[in-house]
Amino acid sequence: MTKYLKIEYLIAPDGKVTENVLNAIGDECLRNTSAIELELGQVEKRELLPEYYEGNDLVVNRESVHLKNQA
């Protein structure tokens, strides 16, 4: 069964991008967003919630990443 993973990108007026990953388990959030992060620019800050380390299938994992635009 294919798992649904939700990735949100919020772009501020100053060009700062915030990436939120929902419904990921363990390092799924990192594996599924690494290529996009490379294209968007340098990661300034990464916040992993405690659920990232638990690896429990019933837990929702949310990751917030702030990216610095390369332009």
Q: Under a CB-based contact definition with an 8 Å cutoff, are residues 19 and 65 in contact?
A: yes
More confident residue, 65 or 14: 14
- The confidence score (pLDDT) of residue 71 equals 57
d(CA 11, CA 16): 6
- The confidence score (pLDDT) of residue 65 equals 64
Q: Which helix (H) or strand (E) holds 66?
A: strand 63-69
One-letter amino acid for residue 28 of the chain: E
pTM of the prediction? 0.65
**pLDDT tens-digit readout, 11-52:** 999 988 998 888 887 888 888 899 999 988 888 888 887 767
